[in-house]
Amino acid sequence: MFSSLSELIAHMENGEVAGLDDLFCEHLKYCHPVAVIILFKLFHLFVLFEYLPRGFGLSYTVPIPKCVHDFRGISISPIM
């Protein structure tokens, strides 16, 4: 399981926009390896206690104009 989280982080694309937490993919990719272990344990506690902090899943939507009267929205979500 821990190796799965490490692989997911390794395959994240660089240069993406920061979310509400102001973290970029690069923060996770190039941090000390112990941070990945801490994240793994944190996610395990979320599952164990069936609890997520209130702001954990927040995102914001940015409208992107397509045509004159049409747009599409993209959601900017936190890296975590």
- At 11-44, the pLDDT tens digits run 888 877 787 778 888 888 888 989 888 988 998 9
Range of the domain at 10: 2-76
* pTM: predicted TM-score of the whole model, two decimal places: 0.65
Count CB atoms within 10 A of the CB of residue 15: 7
Count CB atoms within 10 A of the CB of residue 71: 11
- How many separate domains does the chain show? 1
Confidence of residue 1 (pLDDT cuts 50, 70, 90): low
Higher pLDDT, 36 or 49: 49
